[in-house]
Structure 1
Amino acid sequence: MVTDEYGRAPVPHAEVRVDLAAIRDNVAELKARAGRAEVMAVVKADAYGHGLVPAARAARSGGATWLGTAVLAEALALRAAGVGGRLLAWLTAPGERFSDAVGADVDVAASAPWTVAEIAAAARETGRTARVHLKVDSGLGRSGAPRADWPALVDAALREQAEGTLRVVGLWSHFAVADDPGHSVNTEQLEAFGEALAWAETRGVRPEVRHVANSAATLALPSSHYDLVRPGLAVYGLSPMPGQVRPADVGLRPAMSVRARLALVKRVPAGHGVSYGHLYATDRESTLGLVPLGYGDGVPRHASSGDGVGPGAPVLVDGVTRRVAGRVCMDQFVLDLRDDDVHAGDEVVLFGGGDGEPSAQQWAEACGTLSYEIVTRFAPRLPRTYVGTEDEP
């Protein structure tokens, strides 16, 4: 039996199934849409819940020449697993072990002069030259140097580059509303990014890659592709613009499905309360089915239904879509299956990519959130089962 690092076995009655061939093919589609730009497949947050190393290898086999993580720990885990290719980690704080990054051949990002100084110190410690991507805040208001501070960041990096401690290999930024391609903020950010690039180039910066495009921009803003695009959600077959574009419209297919088996099936009379608070009650004699997954596994509590809450997230059972009935509990939730001919042990599909299966986007809509949150939240105690290839070129 496979166990985790603490010797715990995964639950036997549910799984997160990941189609690595879908990830590979999605990346190939995104690469075709990116034109001459290279593709960085973003595998942060355990590859959006799909599994860091297997997803990274599948993305590489689909043509991603770069991989991207937020935190350095995930980049180092990829290197420890033998995953090659260019690799960028961009979310760091003071005291980060940049020497580990430099030693593992991981590119790092800087948004402020103090970051440049720490990276340079780490490079001196390791005796190797660090590769750095300088980030400008072109309008998102998150990480990145404010435009007024951009000259100071560039000059700090160039001073260290002259000393041989680092090399500025990338200039980058991030969109705020790329999921609304016609929004004026996209134009404003591209103009601001262009100005930041031009200023850096006047100072002698000659980057290998300039990059700003996320999933939505990769699909809908070709003027933003520059030398490298950074799709994340689209790698996993989900649409970053769900109100405008379905995955199939752009040649993508979802890679994740969440499946379980009914733990109990029972008949109850009309008016029977269901789950905590009795927010839901049967309107007739009915069959209740117990699904052994809950918010401790990653099922959102907002997937509940009943008086004063949402409509309930959809679940497929024996070819029929039913909705979560009542409150989602820590380890379980209930379905009102009416008179369906179902039995304990029958498979239920929370969401997936197959015909008739509910989608992660439908779950997001039922829970008032984004598909990003739905796929990233499923807990490690649910085993990941991989289908398709994970061979790295």
Structure 2
Amino acid sequence: MLSMHPSASELVVHDDAIRENTARFSAMTEGRIMAVLKADAFGHGEIARSVLESGATSVGVTSVDEALALRATGVGAPILSWLNTPDADFETAVRENVDLAVPSVELLWSIGRAALRVGRPARVHLHLDVGMARDGCSTRDWSTLCTLAREHEALGAVRVVGVMGHLSCADEPEHPQNARERLVFESAVRTARRRALAPRILHLAATAATLNGVGSGFDVHRIGAGLFGIDPSSRTDVLRPAVTLTSSVVSSREVAAGTGVGYGLDFVAQNRTNLALLPVGYGDGLPREASGRAEVFARGRRRPLVGRFSMDMVVVDTGDDVLRPNERVTVFGPGAQGEPTVTEWAEWSRTIEHEIVTRLGNRSPRIHRTIETSSPSQGDRS
């Protein structure tokens, strides 16, 4: 029997913010959005319906497993999977109409064999490394990959529907590497067409390149972080943060000056003060690197977290205030009420916002709601 007791911590996903961000990108790109929902939608859970109803026309994920999980929830829109090993379940991917990125000859052979067993061609996007030396085919091997892809098309094993790349310095629009990588991409597309391929979906821009324009001029924009209010370029304020993490006080205590807190006693109270214990820690995704710098929001003001973060606990210095057990504390949120934001947590943790939201895990129940309402939408607890 399910417990009806409220959880000590909750992760609220603001679906209306996600919808608003998606609609903004749709307007910006004339409706050419691939919503990137990898890593459990950047830690935000089941939001495919929200983005597809708000302007996204397709979905991008990393693995075939992620793509098939979306299909299982009823997502019928085009889905692209772009990071797989040669032994991935390509047969099921082809049966489920999942597009597949091809960064190498080895992947092309694996996908082609799987498609021939299924009895229909796989839809593929040839993936070029334009300069990051990460995923994608090297420029040295690109011509060979295109030639073999055309041979696979002739066999009925694949159909090349797209060419994709990823800019390495899109968060710095003035960086000269952006222009160089665009030229590499455009040259690769010409090579593919000279090999009698006819890719109609060209995509180079992710969130940062879309916001600052360095990836414009192609068919699709892959928007991931931006859907959730994260601006990798740090140059705009047009996006709405889409997540709030709260926790409840377990206990409070008064301590004397000279009292140390947590492992190593890194923090020592300089004066008499009150401490409140929250049941959330690095096991819930709060980076331990933020120890000694992070703040939370309680009773209308910021409060410092003191001592090293534990796996399941952090301690709040509440000064003269004594927080009651079960009293709610905001760890981070949109910032409208003065609470810390994901951006601030990233700064305190010396990382990026993407890492903060994707490491939250599932210890805190996710509740999907609009930012204005106080009650979860029906059936949206996850």
Q: Which residue of 1 aligns with 2:104?
A: 112
Q: What is aligned with 1:121?
A: 113
Residue 49 (1) aligns with residue 46 (2): no
Which residue pairs with 2:374 in the alignment?
none
Equivalent position amino acid for 1:357 in 2 = E
Residue 13 (structure 1) aligned to one of 8, 12, 22: 8
Map of 1:88 onto structure 2: 80
The alpha-carbon distance between structure 1 residues 154 and 240, as it changes in their structure 2 partners (threshold 3 A), is same
Report deviation, 1:208: 2.2
The 1:232–1:225 alpha-carbon spacing in structure 2 relative to 1, beyond 3 Å, is farther
| Residue from 256, 278, 284 that aligns with 2:265 | 278
Deviations 1:55-92 (A, max 9, x none): 11111111100100011111100001111111001000
Q: Could you say if the C-alpha distance between residues 74 and 10 of structure 1 is closer, same or farther in structure 2, counting changes exceeding 3 Å? A: farther
SS at match of 2:282: coil
**Per-residue deviation at 1:287?**
0.7
Partner of residue 228, structure 2 = 236
Contact 1:212 1:225 in 2 (8 A): no
| Worse-matched range after superposition: 373-382 or 11-20 | 11-20
Residue 140 of structure 1 deviates from its aligned partner by 1.0
CA contact (8 A) 2:252 2:322 kept: no
Distance 1:213 1:358, change over 3 A: same
User: 1:206-241 deviations in whole A, cap 9, x for unaligned?
Assistant: 112000101001111255340000011001111112
Task: Return the offset for 1:294.
Answer: 0.9
> Is 1:338 aligned to 2:319, yes or no?
yes
Counterpart of 2:291 in structure 1: which amino acid?
A: S
Matching residue within 249, 252, 255 for 2:242: 255
Instruction: Give the distance between the partners of 1:293 and 1:201, measured in 2 at CA.
Output: 54
Q: Is the 8 A contact 1:61 1:390 kept in 2?
A: no
Is it true that 1:365 corresponds to 2:357 in the alignment? no
Question: 2:78 and 2:19 mapped to 1: Cα distance?
Answer: 17
Distance, in Å, in 2 between the alignment partners of 1:200 and 1:83 is 31
Amino acid corresponding to residue 83 of structure 1 in structure 2: V
Find the counterpart in structure 1 of residue 302 from structure 2.
321
Which of 292, 305, 308 is the equivalent residue of 2:279?
Answer: 292
Inter-partner Cα distance in structure 2 for 1:376 and 1:135: 25
- C-alpha contact (below 8 Å) 2:274/2:322 kept by paired residues: no
Counterpart residue number, 1:6? none
Q: Tell me the TM-score normalized by structure 1.
A: 0.91
The amino acid that maps onto 1:133 is H
Task: Give, in whole Å, the separation in 2 of the partners of 1:82 and 1:240.
Answer: 30
Aligned partner of 2:71 in structure 1 is 79
**SS across alignment from 1:216:** helix
Q: Give the 3 Å change call, closer, same or farther, for CA 47–341 of structure 1 in structure 2.
A: same
| Change in CA separation of 1:322 and 1:19 when aligned onto 2, cut-off 3 Å | same
Per-residue CA deviations over 1:92-122 (Å, capped at 9, x if unaligned) read 0121110011011100011111111111111
**Aligned-pair distance for 1:156?**
1.0
Whether contact under 8 Å (2:211, 2:233) holds in the other structure is: no
Tell me the equivalent position of 1:164.
Answer: 156
Secondary structure at the residue paired with 1:152? helix
Q: CA RMSD for the aligned pairs? A: 1.8
Aligned residues: 372
**Counterparts of 1:159 and 1:10, CA distance in 2:** 61
Is the CA contact 2:203–2:219 (under 8 Å) kept in the aligned structure 1?
yes
C-alpha displacement at 1:179, in angstroms? 0.7
Is the CA contact (8 Å cut-off) linking 2:212 and 2:233 kept in structure 1? Answer: no
Judged with a 3 Å threshold, the aligned counterparts in structure 2 of structure 1 residues 353 and 2 are, in CA distance, closer, same or farther, namely farther
SS at match of 1:189: helix
CA contact (8 A) 1:86 1:107 kept: yes
| Runs of 4+ more than 2 Å apart | 222-225, 388-391
Which residue is 1:32 aligned to? 27
In the aligned structure 2, how far is the partner of 1:203 from the partner of 1:390?
53
Equivalent of 2:363 in 360, 371, 381:
381
- State how far apart, in whole Å, the 1-side matches of 2:105 and 2:75 are: 30
Q: Which amino acid aligns with 1:125?
A: R
Tell me by how many angstroms 1:269 deviates: 0.7
Partner of 1:219 in structure 2?
211
Q: Cα distance, 1:342 vs. partner?
A: 2.5
CA contact (8 A) 1:11 1:383 kept: no
> Please, what TM-score do these two structures have when normalized by structure 2?
0.94
Is 2:178–2:214's contact at 8 Å kept on the other side of the alignment?
no
Measured after TM superposition, the shift of residue 10 of structure 1 is 10
The alpha carbon displacement at 1:354 in A equals: 4.1
Unaligned runs of 5+ in 2: 371-376
Offset of residue 296 of structure 1: 1.1
> What does residue 68 of structure 1 align with?
60
- 3-state SS in 1 of match to 2:304: strand
SS in 2 for 1:224: coil
